[in-house]
Amino acid sequence: MTRAALVFHERDHALGVRNVGSIGPALRTSGFETTTFSFEGDSRDADRPAASSFDLIVLMGSPDAAYDDALPWLAEEIAWLGDAVAQRVPVLGVCFGGQLLARVLGGTVTRAAESEHGFVTVRTECDELIPQGPWMQFHDDTFTLPPGAEPLATTAAALQAFVSGPHIGLQFHPEITVDVFESWIEGWDARGVRAEVESSVDVPAIRAEVARREQTSIEACSRLIDAVLARAGVSR
């Protein structure tokens, strides 16, 4: 059985599993056995397999910053991800996951000059791999292109995707569904930051748009996962 690790970044395990969204079903439809875990919160002490035991690793988003070395779990995850890269296990990084992948590959992660929230059409250099979208955005940070990597997509605000060998980093959220967005809101409530988020983001408008676009988003995610697997050469 082909195995995929789905690494979420959420203190509450149940919320973290929901964060995976449509990526999990897309991989299972493609014949993958998925293992979902985190390096923080309820999952911190879980028995995590070595990165090399997987055929694919997917790193999900996070409310935290990929440059915040004060996070008590970040160094462990960076080391685990570094081992995956050294073993050439294909990695798909999503938002925070894409930023962390960029960092491990030698790029940098910083606060963005311009945040992006909601659905945004990207400019793609490779429509077969990253279609124009629109894709769901929800980020205040950004990454630079790692040495030797190729840019795949951009917006006026940020680099949106890159490829480096078998690895692909994304700034946007292909996994978005109604339940994913609701799990984010519940996570903001748990962390006591919902009011802060809603002070600068029109959450009701985005929530409504997520609902309108849900089926289209699920189908786009499935196509993207198929393209990622083909690009990485992962056999199914």
The continuous run of DSSP H or E covering 84 comes out as helix 74-86
With a CB cutoff of 8 Å and minimum separation 6, the contacts of 92 are: 56, 57, 58, 59, 167, 168, 169, 170, 228, 232
Q: Does 173 qualify as catalytic in the annotation?
A: yes
What amino acid occupies position 220?
A
CB-based contact 50:127 (threshold 8 Å): no
User: Residue 11 corresponds to which tokens in the numbers above?
Assistant: 């203190």
Catalytic residue, from 95, 167, 209, 221: name it: 95
CB-based contact 56:32 (threshold 8 Å): yes
Q: At residue 124, what are phi and psi to the nearest 5 degrees?
A: -105, 145
Catalytic residue, from 10, 40, 116, 175: name it: 175
Q: Does 9 qualify as catalytic in the annotation?
A: no
User: Residue 12 corresponds to which tokens in the numbers above?
Assistant: 């509450």
Nearest to 86 by CA among 52, 54, 57, 56: 52
Q: Does 126 qualify as catalytic in the annotation?
A: no
Catalytic residue, from 116, 173, 209, 221: name it: 173
Q: Please state whether the peptide bond connecting residue 134 to the residue before it is cis, i.e. omega within 30 degrees of 0.
A: yes
Which residues belong to the active site?
95, 173, 175
